[in-house]
Amino acid sequence: GSHPIWQCDRFKGMPPGERLEIVNKLKLCNNCLADNHEVKNCKRASFCKKPECKEEKHSYLLHEIQGVTANGIQASNHGTYLPIVPVKVNNLCNTYALLDTGSSGSFCSKSLMKRMKLNTKGVVYSLSTIDGINKETESKITKLCLSSRDGGNSLAMSNVFLVDEIPTNTPSVDVRKYEHLRDLPLVKGSVKVEVLIGLDNSEALIPLEVRKGNKNEPFAVRTLFGWCLNGPKGSVVNNKIISHFIQSKSTINQSELLMP
């Protein structure tokens, strides 16, 4: 075909055993899937990317591909408020979390991992964006326990993917302008978000109470971790959007990941 086999969605949708049959039939390298050498001559040092696996084959030929969908729309600059809540991590560190109903997985930033000295393990996952682009990503996963700042509610999160950063750019809000928001403890300005909570931890996303105003006014939602602001900042038209929240600088290029 016109694309390498590791970029083929049909190939990636097959069970690992069928992928191995195809690779052997096409006489591709079992390690990097290239067509210009045999596995014994492969210059790529590592084989399967799963840390607990010792097999000398590409991970596609041994394991199911773990999929993560990050379909949240991020309105950038001045137009939209993002649902951000204050949280405490492992009962030690205060930070902020973004609630993303468009993501099937949850993520944390490298800055949080380093500050908390979190234990991690390696993983390869498939990141699908709203425009249908699939990216095979080499990353790490960790576990987190989030709680509200007052310690009243908590949530244990496993399989949290590590990314370089979680980019958010939300406008500051003057709640005095909105009668329905005046008495609420909201995140009112730009803050550094280090955790993204997706649908795999849906308990944190469930609306417990909603405060809404007039058309084109922001609304507030009470969640497990407190109140968060959502919606437009007035009627400002914003023509800059990002198709998914997660933009990991550490994502390895396919050619670097799979070719010798």
What pLDDT digit, counting tens, does each position of 52-78 carry? 666 777 777 777 665 555 544 343 434
The sign of the dihedral angle between the CA atoms of 141, 12, 260, 246 is negative
Show Cβ contacts of residue 109 under 8 Å, excluding neighbours closer than 6 positions: 162, 163, 164, 165, 166, 193, 194, 195
DSSP assignment of 183-216 = TS----S---EEEEE-GGGGGGT--SEEE--STT
Q: How far is CA 22 from the centre of its chain?
A: 31
Question: Among 13, 35, 62, which residue terminates a domain?
Answer: 62
Q: Is the pLDDT of residue 242 over 70?
A: no
Residues 153 and 57 in one domain: no
Q: Report the pLDDT value the prediction gives residue 260, as an integer from 0 to 100.
A: 30
Rounded distance between C-alpha atoms, residue 235 and residue 217, angstroms: 8
Q: Is there a domain that residue 35 lies in?
A: yes
- In order, the DSSP letters of 43-102 are ------SSTT---SS-GGGTSPPEEEEB---EE-TTSEE--EEEEEETTTEEEEEEE-TT
Residue 39 lies in a domain: yes
Are residue 43 and residue 87 in the same domain, yes or no? Answer: no
Q: Domain check: are 191 and 147 in the same one?
A: yes
DSSP letter at 252?
Answer: P
pLDDT band, residue 256 (cuts 50/70/90): very low
Q: How many domains does the chain have?
A: 2
Task: Report the alpha-carbon distance of residue 79 to residue 23 in Å, rounded.
Answer: 49
* 225 alpha-carbon distance from chain centroid: 19
Structural domain containing residue 41: 5-62
For residue 124, the cross-strand partners are 138
What the block records as the tokens of 35 is 């067509």
Angle, vertex CA 85, rays to CA 115 and CA 251, nearest 5? 50
With beta carbons less than 8 A apart as the criterion, state whether 8 and 254 touch: no
Reported as type and span, the H/E element at residue 138 is: strand 134-147
Confidence of residue 252 (pLDDT cuts 50, 70, 90): very low
In this structure, the answer to whether residues 93 and 178 fall within a common structural domain is yes
Q: What is the pLDDT of residue 80?
A: 78
Whether 86 is in a domain gets the answer yes
* pLDDT value at 255 more than 90: no
Instruction: List Cβ neighbours of 221 (8 Å cut-off, separation of 6 or more).
Output: 83, 207, 208, 209, 210, 211, 227, 228, 230
Do 184 and 237 have their domain in common?
yes
Question: Token match 């007039």: residue?
Answer: 214
pTM comes to 0.65
